[in-house]
């Protein structure tokens, strides 16, 4: 009886010469140049993550600032965290990790003129788009290229100086194995009791179902799109555990569902996303070591 071979996952050039191996019900494709190197098996997940900068840079070169609509809904969702404090009238310092072309950054700046924003992205072209935007104000935005899975934030931003960190459809683009490193990196610049605000894809989203049907899974709940960018789909339990282990306690978290009908394609899409807020823990009971910025940097890169 012949086994049914699933469709192959095709890598982008320059890896045009491919080897396909079949394991159970899923087909994995590896670039021959990488596989032949010392005869080591290179996973798809590792390949796409090591080349994430290239894939996301190509994404922004192709779409410029036209792909993501401005996220004005965050003004209402997160007003509490950005509005001026009655106790302290100083400007809030915000770090947006994975700012892209500025679809979150600029609506927040317009709604809250008291904030100063560090905006970082691993894509150099995305940062160019931010700086060339007509709403870019150099005195209010520090736009920097930074891969937070590899580079230390505290080398680019003052340690423990950030009030609020935003992760808007950013964490899902990273392999689950690297997510704890990102949170440790954030802890080198966030203030004690500072907040991390997240909005991202939830498990069961229409896009996940579509990718699953196309056999695009390269890790548990982790998928690669046709353009080489990746996406993870979160459960509340996964996020709760991830942040708790990193020393954050959950303030609020909810999963939202919305049915969207596309008339032109006659398709009903069940969209699911998670919105959550976490606070950097300084209370007893979490068993969190009190590390200075240098110690946290060393911990971040330990074993690399």
Confidence (pLDDT) at 39: 32
Q: Is the pLDDT higher at 293 or at 65?
A: 65
Percent of the chain with pLDDT over 90: 58
pLDDT at 277: 97
Collapse the DSSP code of 49 into the 3-class scheme (helix H, G, I; strand E, B; otherwise coil) and give the result: helix
Query: What is the length of the chain?
Result: 304
Q: Is 0.85 surpassed by the pTM of this model?
A: no
Confidence at 72, pLDDT banded by 50, 70, 90: low
In this prediction, residue 69 has a pLDDT band, given cuts at 50, 70 and 90, of: low
Question: Can you list the alpha helix ranges (DSSP code H) found in the chain?
Answer: 32-35, 44-50, 52-63, 73-77, 79-82, 105-111, 124-132, 179-186, 206-213, 236-246, 293-300
The pLDDT value given to residue 243: 98
Bigger pLDDT: 64 vs 186: 186
Comparing 90 with 228, the larger pLDDT belongs to: 228
Helices (H), 10-142: 32-35, 44-50, 52-63, 73-77, 79-82, 105-111, 124-132
Provide the Cα torsion 63, 60, 104, 186; round to 10°.
160
Nearest-10 Cα torsion for 229, 235, 238, 244: 110
pLDDT exceeds 70 at position 50: yes
What would the pLDDT profile of 194-250 be if each residue is shown by its tens digit? Answer: 999 999 999 999 999 999 999 999 999 999 999 899 999 999 999 999 999 999 999
Which domains does the chain carry?
1-42 (no CATH), 54-300 (3.40.50.150)
Q: What is the CA radius of gyration of the chain?
A: 20
* Cβ 122 vs Cβ 145: under 8 Å: yes
Residue showing tokens 């060393």: 298
Which pLDDT belongs to residue 70?
59
């Amino acid at each position: 009886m012949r086994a049914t071979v699933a469709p192959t996952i095709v890598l982008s050039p320059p890896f045009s010469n491919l080897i396909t191996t079949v394991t159970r019900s899923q087909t994995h494709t590896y670039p021959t140049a990488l596989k032949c190197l010392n005869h080591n098996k290179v996973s798809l997940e590792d390949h796409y993550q090591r080349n994430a900068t290239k894939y996301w840079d190509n994404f922004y070169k192709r779409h410029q600032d036209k792909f993501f609509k401005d996220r004005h809904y965050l003004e209402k969702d997160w007003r509490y965290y950005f509005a001026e404090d009655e106790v302290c009238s100083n400007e809030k310092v915000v770090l947006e990790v994975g700012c892209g072309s500025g679809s979150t950054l600029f609506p927040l700046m317009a709604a809250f003129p008291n904030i100063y924003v560090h905006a970082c992205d691993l894509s150099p072209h995305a940062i160019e788009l931010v700086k060339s935007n007509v709403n870019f104000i150099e005195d209010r935005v520090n736009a920097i290229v930074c891969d937070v899975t590899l580079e230390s934030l505290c080398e680019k931003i003052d340690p423990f100086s950030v009030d609020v960190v935003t992760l808007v459809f950013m964490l899902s683009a990273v392999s689950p194995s690297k997510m704890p490193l990102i949170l440790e990196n954030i802890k080198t610049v966030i203030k004690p009791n500072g907040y991390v605000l997240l909005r991202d894809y939830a498990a069961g989203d229409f896009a996940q179902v579509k990718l699953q049907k196309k056999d695009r899974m390269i890790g548990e709940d982790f998928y690669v799109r046709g353009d080489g960018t990746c996406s993870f789909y979160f459960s509340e339990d996964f996020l709760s555990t991830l942040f708790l282990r990193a020393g954050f306690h959950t303030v609020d978290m909810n999963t939202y569902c919305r049915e969207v009908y596309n008339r032109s394609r006659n398709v009903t899409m069940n969209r699911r996303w998670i919105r959550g807020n976490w606070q950097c823990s300084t209370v007893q009971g979490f068993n969190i070591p009190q590390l200075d910025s240098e110690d946290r940097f060393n911990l971040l890169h330990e074993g690399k």
